[in-house]
């Protein structure tokens, strides 16, 4: 167990380094100049040269080295687009927002998905199963930008109960979190249902029933825990994806989160912010995956997950 954790800890910086290098290669290969602003006046080559020097970006090699050097001091660089802000400030301002929305969404998805999944498995082939199936397929069949826009109009104009475009009260959390939860909810529902169907047919559940335990005890204490490992495994990458934000949801609901930067930084060729976002996202994702793997191994010592040769 300790060896497994240690391997993961050593892997993290190595993986991040490789990811940094890969991203770097991509951002310098993409055409477009971060210093020539859209719709603005052209800047002269001399001015651009001085600017590049200021950001430590005289040439690609210098940029690559300088940024890495900064990283060791915990400095993610300065945004090229939002010139008065450092990437650290930007991420510190937006990551908590995204984490709040993302975790709430995951909580909704887990609660809803597991409940519906259990019901669907118990009443297999019944109305409940059909409803669950419908929800799970709907979640992955309608684009989020349509659902988001629909919810926005529905609950602020048609039925004026929620505020629009603000981020001041927990009420502002409801719609984005629900929208964001639809896709993970669909997956969790599906995984729970499959796991529960299998568990309910297994020998130990039959034994438990034969012992005369009540149905709820059988379901919650015996069947459910056996159906959970795949859900837990899915939760790792799903939370990472949810916590680092979604462009569509943040834009439609006007939430100042990380997802905006993923897209905008690339469109603006804000190379510093691209690197910062990728590194933060990757660190979160790799950590969460590692946590899930380790937890998984701890729960089920037989499993060797994700090809880790511990």
Partner 1 sequence: MLSLHRIRAGIQLALLLVLAMVVACGLLWLGSAPPDAAELSIVEGVSIATLDPAEVSWLQDIRIVSQLYEGLYAPDPRGMESHPACSEPAERLELPAGGVRYRFRIRAGSVWSDGSPVTADDFLFAWRRALEPGTARDYSFFFHHIRGVAEYVDWRHREIERIRELPHSNGIVERHAHLRDADLHFAETVGLRAPDPRTLDVELVRPIPYFLHLVSLPVFLPLHRATVEPHRRISDAGLFYYDPQWTKPGRTAYNGPYILDHWRFKRGLRLRRNERFRAATPDAPQTVDVLDVNDTNTAWLMYETGRADWLLSIDTSFVSQLVRIADSPLPGAINTGGTIRRDIHSFETFGTYFFNVNCRPTLNDGSPNPFADPRVRRAVSLAIDREAICRDVTRRGEPPATTLVPPKMLPDYPTLSGLSFSPTAARAALDDAGWTAGKPPPEITILYSTDANHPLIAQAVASMLTRHLGLRTRLIGKEPRSYRADKQRHDFMLARGAWFGDYPDPCTFLEIFRTGDGNNDSAYDDPVYDDLLRRANECDDPAERGRRLADAEHRLITETVPAIPLFHFVNTYALDPHVIAGVQLNPRLLVQLRSIAVKP
Partner 2 sequence: MTAMSSGTAAPRASATRRLLRSRRTTVASPILLGIIVVCFIGAWPAVKRSDVTSLSNARMPPGAQAWFGTDLLGRSLAARCILGGAISLAVGIAAAIFSVGLGVVWGSVAAMAGGRVDAIMMRIVDVLFGLPYILLVILLKIGLEGLLRLRLGLGHHATDLVILMLAIGGVSWLTMARVIRARMLTLLAAPFIEAARAIGVSPIGVWRRHLLPNLLDTIIVYAALTVPQAILQESFLSFLGIGVAPPLPSWGNLAADGVAAVNTIESFWWMLVFPCGLLSLTLLCMNALGEGLRDALDPRGDRRA
Alpha-carbon torsion (60, 84, 43, 36), positive or negative: positive
Binding-site partner at residue 104 among partner 1, partner 2, none, CB < 5 to 8 Å by type: partner 1
Q: Does 295 bind partner 1 (CB under 8 A)?
A: yes
Cα–Cα distance, 96 to 284 (Å, whole number): 13
Q: Does 309 bind partner 2 (CB under 8 A)?
A: yes
Q: Does 147 bind partner 1 (CB under 8 A)?
A: no
Token pair 């997956």 is at which residue? 187
Binding-site partner at residue 90 among partner 2, partner 1, none, CB < 5 to 8 Å by type: partner 1
Residues 65, 126, 163, 306: which binds partner 1 (CB under 8 A)?
163
- Nearest CB to partner 1, comparing residues 19 and 260: 260
Q: Does 63 bind partner 2 (CB under 8 A)?
A: no
Q: Which of 300, 196, 180, 294 is nearest to 238 (CA)?
A: 180
**Interacting residues with partner 1 between 22 and 51 (CB under 8 A):** 31-33, 36-44, 46-47, 50
Cα–Cα distance, 291 to 298 (Å, whole number): 10
- Nearest CB to partner 1, comparing residues 244 and 268: 268
Cα–Cα distance, 9 to 5 (Å, whole number): 6
Q: Does 222 bind partner 1 (CB under 8 A)?
A: yes
Q: Does 145 bind partner 2 (CB under 8 A)?
A: yes
3-state secondary structure of 138: helix
Residues 43, 71, 128, 133: which binds partner 2 (CB under 8 A)?
133
Binding-site partner at residue 234 among partner 1, partner 2, none, CB < 5 to 8 Å by type: partner 2
Binding-site partner at residue 235 among partner 1, partner 2, none, CB < 5 to 8 Å by type: partner 1
3-state secondary structure of 78: strand
Return the range that interacts with partner 1 (CB under 8 A); candidates 10-18, 116-124, 189-197, 228-236.
Answer: 228-236
Give CB contacts under 8 A, 24+ apart, made by 195-201: 195/117, 195/226, 195/227, 195/228, 195/229, 195/230, 195/231, 196/117, 196/118, 196/120, 196/121, 196/122, 196/223, 196/224, 196/227, 197/121, 197/124, 198/227, 199/223, 199/224, 199/226, 199/227, 200/121, 200/122
Phi, psi of 86 (to 5 degrees): -90, 155
Q: Does 230 bind partner 2 (CB under 8 A)?
A: yes
Q: Are 296 and 306 in contact (CB under 8 A)?
A: no
Q: Which residues bind partner 2 (CB under 8 A)?
A: 15-16, 18-19, 22-23, 26-27, 29-32, 133, 137-138, 140-146, 149, 153, 157, 187, 190-191, 194-195, 198, 229-230, 233-234, 237, 244, 247-248, 262-263, 266-267, 274, 277-278, 281-282, 285-286, 289, 306-307, 309
């Amino acid at each position: 167990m300790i060896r497994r954790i240690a391997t993961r800890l050593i892997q993290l910086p190595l993986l991040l380094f490789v990811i940094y290098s890969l991203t770097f290669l991509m951002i310098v290969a993409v055409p477009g100049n971060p210093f020539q602003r859209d719709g603005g006046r052209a800047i002269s080559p001399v001015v651009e040269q001085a600017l590049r020097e200021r950001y430590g970006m005289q040439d690609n090699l210098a940029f690559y080295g300088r940024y890495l050097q900064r990283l060791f001091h915990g400095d993610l660089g300065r945004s090229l687009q939002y010139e008065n802000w450092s990437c650290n400030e930007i991420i510190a301002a937006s990551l908590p927002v995204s984490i709040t929305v993302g975790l709430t969404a995951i909580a909704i998805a887990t609660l809803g998905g597991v409940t519906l999944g259990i019901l669907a498995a118990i009443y297999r082939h019944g109305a409940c199963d059909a409803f669950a199936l419908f929800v799970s397929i709907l979640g992955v069949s309608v684009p989020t930008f349509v659902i988001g826009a629909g919810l926005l109009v529905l609950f602020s104009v048609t039925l004026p109960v929620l505020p629009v475009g603000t981020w001041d009260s927990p009420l502002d959390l409801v719609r984005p979190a629900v929208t964001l939860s639809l896709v993970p909810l669909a997956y969790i529902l599906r995984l729970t249902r499959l796991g529960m169907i299998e568990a309910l047919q297994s020998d130990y559940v039959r034994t438990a029933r034969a012992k005369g335990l009540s149905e709820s005890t059988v379901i919650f204490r015996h069947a459910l825990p056996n159906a959970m490992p795949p859900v837990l495994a899915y939760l790792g990458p799903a939370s990472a994806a949810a916590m680092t934000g979604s462009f569509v949801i943040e834009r439609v609901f006007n939430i100042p989160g990380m997802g905006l930067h993923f897209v905008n930084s690339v469109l603006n060729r804000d190379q510093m912010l691209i690197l910062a976002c990728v590194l933060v996202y990757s660190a979160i994702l790799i950590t969460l995956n590692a946590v899930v793997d380790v937890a998984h191994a701890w729960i089920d010592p037989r499993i060797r997950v994700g090809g880790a040769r511990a």
